[in-house]
A and B are shown apart, each in its own frame.
Chain A
Amino acid sequence: MRLGYKILLPQALMILLLLIASAALLRDLKQQEEGLRATSQRLERDTRLAGLVKDVHTETAVEVLSYRIDKKARRIEATLSADREAENALKRYAVDVTDPLQHALMDAVVESRDRIRRSRLALIQAIDAGKEGEIQAAFDRWRIHRRLLDASLNDWSALSLYRFASASEEAIRGRAAIVRLLLYGVALAIAIAAAAFFYVRLTVSRPLGMLVNGIASFGGGKLGVRIDPRIQDSSDEVGQMAKAFNKMALDIEDLNRGLELRVHERTAQLEAANKELESFAYSVSHDLRAPLRTIDGFSKILEEDYSEKVDEEGRDSLRRVRAAAQKMGHLIDDILKLSRLSRSDMTYEQVDLGALADSIVAELRSTESTRRVTYRVAPGLVARGDKTLIRILLENLLANSWKFTSKHSTAQIEVGAAQKEGELAYFVRDDGAGFDMAHVGALFAPFQRLHGMSEFPGTGIGLATVRRVVQRHGGRCWAEGEVEKGATFYFTLGAQEPTLRLQQTQHPPHEREALPA
Chain B
Amino acid sequence: MGDTVGKLIEAHSNVLRSAILEAGFRWIPSPRCLAAFLLLGAFGCGVPDTPSGPPLKLTIAEASQPVFALVYVADARGFLKEAGLDVTFNSFSLGRDALTSVLEGKSDLATVYETPVTQRIYEGRDLAIVSMLHTSARNQGVLARRDRGISGPADLKGKKIGLSLGSGQEYVLSVLLATEGVPPESVTKVQVEPDQYEKLLLGGGIDAVLVFNPLQFSLGRALGERAVMLYSDAYTEASMLVGMREIVAGKRETMTRLLKALVKAQDFVDRNRDEAIRIVAARLAGRFEEAFIREGWNDFAPAAKLDNVLLTTMTLEAQWMKDSGKFSGPTPDFRKAIFVDYMMAVRPGAVTVQTAETAR
Does A associate with B in a complex?
Answer: yes
Listed in ascending order, the chain A residues whose CB lies under 8 Å from chain B are 24-25, 27-28, 31, 98-101, 104-105, 108, 111, 115, 118-119, 126, 131, 133-134, 136-138, 140-141, 144-145, 147-148, 150-152, 154-156, 158-159, 162-163, 166, 170, 173-174, 176-178, 180-181
Contact with A150, one of B22, B24, B312 (Cβ below 8 angstroms): B312
Instruction: Indicate if the CB atoms of B354 and A141 lie closer than 8 Å.
Output: no
Query: Is B31 an interface position by the 8 A CB rule?
Result: yes
Nearest-neighbour CB distance to chain A for B37, whole angstroms, equals: 13
A178–B33 alpha-carbon span in the complex (Å): 11
B228 to chain A: closest CB distance in Å?
A: 19
A162 and B349 within 8 A (CB) = yes
CB <8 Å contact, B179 and A141: yes
Residues of B within 8 A of A147 (CB): 312, 315-316
**Residue on B nearest A176 in the bound complex, by CB:** B11
- B→A interface (CB under 8 Å): 4, 8, 11-12, 14-15, 18, 22-24, 26, 30-32, 35, 137, 175, 178-183, 233-236, 270, 301, 303, 307-309, 311-313, 315-316, 348-354
Once the chains are docked, how many angstroms separate the CA of A115 from the CA of B179? Answer: 12
- Interchain CB contact under 8 A, B175 and A148: no
- Can you list 25 pairs linking A and B with CB atoms under 8 Å apart? A24-B31, A24-B35, A28-B30, A28-B32, A31-B30, A100-B270, A101-B350, A115-B234, A138-B179, A141-B178, A144-B175, A144-B234, A144-B235, A144-B316, A150-B312, A151-B308, A156-B352, A158-B308, A158-B353, A159-B352, A162-B352, A170-B15, A174-B15, A177-B12, A178-B32
The majority secondary structure among interface residues of chain B is helix
Contacts of A108 in B (CB 8 A): 309
Contact of A144 among B22, B32, B179 (CB under 8 A): B179
Q: In whole angstroms, how far apart are the Cα atoms of A101 and B303 in the complex? A: 10
Closest chain A residue, CB of each to CB of B182: A137
**Residues of A contacting B182 with CB < 8 Å?**
137
**What is the CA–CA distance of A24 and B183 in the complex, to the nearest angstrom?**
69
Question: What is the distance, in angstroms, from B355's C-beta to the closest C-beta of chain A?
Answer: 11
A176 CB contacts on chain B under 8 angstroms: 11
Give complex CA distance A13, B235 in Å.
Answer: 68
Q: Is the CB of B234 within 8 A of A99?
A: no
A contact residues around B26 at 8 Å (CB): 98
- B336 CB → nearest A CB, Å: 17
With both beta carbons as reference points, the residue of chain B lying nearest to A158 in the complex is identified as B352
The 8 tightest CB contacts between A and B, nearest first, are: A137-B181, A141-B179, A151-B308, A158-B352, A155-B352, A151-B312, A24-B31, A144-B234
**Given A28-B30, A28-B32, A118-B233, is A137 in contact with B179 using a C-beta cutoff of 8 Å?**
yes
Q: How far is the CA of A234 from the CA of B346 in the complex (A)?
A: 61
Report how far A134 CA is from B22 CA in the complex, Å.
Answer: 46
- Least Cβ distance of B173 to chain A in Å? 14
B148 to chain A, nearest CB (A): 22
Cβ of A98: which chain B residues have Cβ within 8 Å of it? 26
Q: Does B352 lie within 8 Å of A134, measured CB to CB?
A: no
In angstroms, Cα B144 to Cα A499, docked, is: 141
Question: Which residue in chain B gives the minimum CB-CB distance to A134?
Answer: B181
Are B311 and A151 within 8 A (Cβ)? Answer: yes
A126 vs B275: C-alpha distance in the bound complex, in angstroms?
47
Q: Is the interface of A mostly helix, strand, loop or mixed?
A: helix
Known: A100-B24, A170-B15. A148 touches B179 (CB 8 A): no
Contact among A25, A27, A140, A180 with B4 in the assembled complex (CB-CB below 8 Å)? A180
Q: Is the CB of B309 within 8 A of A148?
A: yes
A307 to B32, CA, bound (A): 140
Contacts A147-B312, A151-B307; is A133 near B352 (CB within 8 Å)?
no
* A136 (CB) vs chain B CBs: closest residue: B181
Q: In the complex, how many angstroms separate the beta carbon of B321 from the nearest chain A beta carbon?
A: 15
Quick one: given A144-B316, A148-B309, are A154 and B354 in contact (CB under 8 Å)? yes
List of B residues within 8 angstroms of A156 by Cβ = 352
Q: Are the C-beta atoms of B180 and A174 separated by less than 8 Å?
A: no
Whether A99 contacts B22 by the Cβ 8 Å rule is yes
Of B14, B32, B178, which one neighbours A140 at CB under 8 angstroms? B178
B8-A177 in contact (CB<8A): yes
B307 contacts across to A, CB distance below 8 A? 151, 155
Q: Check B301 against A166 for contact (C-beta < 8 Å).
A: no
Q: Which residues of A contact B11 (CB under 8 A)?
A: 173, 176-177
Chain A min CB distance to B35 (Å)? 6
B35 cross-chain contacts in A, Cβ below 8 A: 24, 181
Q: Are B309 and A152 in contact (CB under 8 A)?
A: yes
Given contacts A134-B181, A141-B234, contact A151 B31 (CB under 8 A): no
Most chain-A CB neighbours within 10 Å: which of B234, B303, B348, B350?
B234
Enumerate chain B residues within 8 angstroms of A101, measured Cβ to Cβ.
Answer: 22, 349-350
B310 to chain A, nearest CB (A): 8
CB-nearest residue of chain A relative to B36? Answer: A177
Q: Name A152's contact: one of B18, B308, B350 (CB within 8 Å).
A: B308
- Chain B residues in 8 Å Cβ range of A150: 308, 312
Provide the residues of chain B in CB contact with A181, threshold 8 Å: 8, 32, 35
Q: CA–CA, A176 to B354, complex, Å?
A: 30
18 more contacts with CB within 8 A, not counting A104-B301, A133-B183, A174-B32, are A24-B31, A28-B32, A99-B23, A115-B233, A137-B181, A141-B179, A141-B234, A147-B316, A148-B313, A151-B307, A152-B309, A154-B353, A155-B353, A162-B351, A176-B11, A177-B11, A177-B12, A180-B8
Q: Is the CB of B24 within 8 A of A159?
A: no
Q: Identify the closest chain B residue to A118 (Cβ).
A: B233
CA distance A470 to B10 in the complex (A): 96
Are B309 and A155 in contact, with the CB atoms below 8 A?
Answer: yes
CA distance A206 to B316 in the complex (A): 88
**Interface pair A154/B30, CB less than 8 Å apart:** no
Kindly report which residue of chain B lies nearest to residue A149, judged by CB atoms: B312
Shortest beta-carbon distance from B152 to chain A in Å: 13
In the bound complex, residues from chain B placing their C-beta under 8 Å from that of A126 are 181
A contact residues around B8 at 8 Å (CB): 177, 180-181
Q: What's the Cα separation between A147 and B316 when bound, in Å?
A: 9
Contacts of B181 in A (CB 8 A): 126, 131, 133-134, 136-138
Which residues of B have CB within 8 Å of A145? 233-234
* A140 / chain B contacts, CB cutoff of 8 Å: 178-179, 234
Best-buried of B8, B270, B309 by chain A (most CB within 10 Å): B309
Cβ contacts under 8 Å, A133 to chain B: 181, 183
CA distance A161 to B158 in the complex (A): 50
Task: Tell me the bound Cα distance from A147 to B311 in angstroms.
Answer: 10
Residues of B within 8 A of A100 (CB): 22, 24, 270
List of A residues within 8 angstroms of B313 by Cβ = 148
Q: Which of A31, A136, A158 has the most C-beta atoms of chain B within 10 angstroms of its own C-beta?
A: A158
Q: Which residues of B have CB within 8 Å of A180?
A: 4, 8
Across the interface, do B15 and A163 meet the contact criterion of CB distance under 8 Å?
no
Q: Distance (Å) between the CB of A418 and the closest chain B CB?
A: 80
Compute how far the CA of A140 lies from the CA of B353 in the bound complex, rounded to whole angstroms: 24
Contacts A141-B234, A166-B18 given; indicate if A154 touches B24 (C-beta within 8 A).
no
Q: In angstroms, how far is the closest chain B Cβ from the Cβ of A461?
A: 97
Chain B residues with CB under 8 Å of A141's CB are 178-180, 233-234
Q: How far is the CB of A104 from the nearest CB of chain B, in Å?
A: 7
B316 partner residues in chain A, CB cutoff 8 A: 144, 147
**Are the CB atoms of B270 and A163 closer together than 8 Å?**
no
Shortest C-beta distance, A277 to chain B (Å), equals: 91
Question: In the complex, what distance in Å separates the CA atom of A108 from the CA atom of B235?
Answer: 14
Chain B, Cβ-Cβ closest to A174:
B32
**Could you tell me the distance between the alpha carbons of A309 and B269 in the complex, rounded to whole angstroms?**
169
Query: CA–CA, A102 to B127, complex, Å?
Result: 29
| Distance between A383 CB and nearest chain B CB, rounded to angstroms | 78
Inter-chain CA distance A150–B312, complex, in Å, is 9
Contacting residue for B352 out of A105, A136, A177, CB 8 A: A105
Given A24-B31, A101-B349, A148-B236, are A173 and B179 neighbors across the interface (CB < 8 Å)? no
Name the one of A27, A28, A119, A158 contacting B354, with C-beta atoms under 8 angstroms. A158
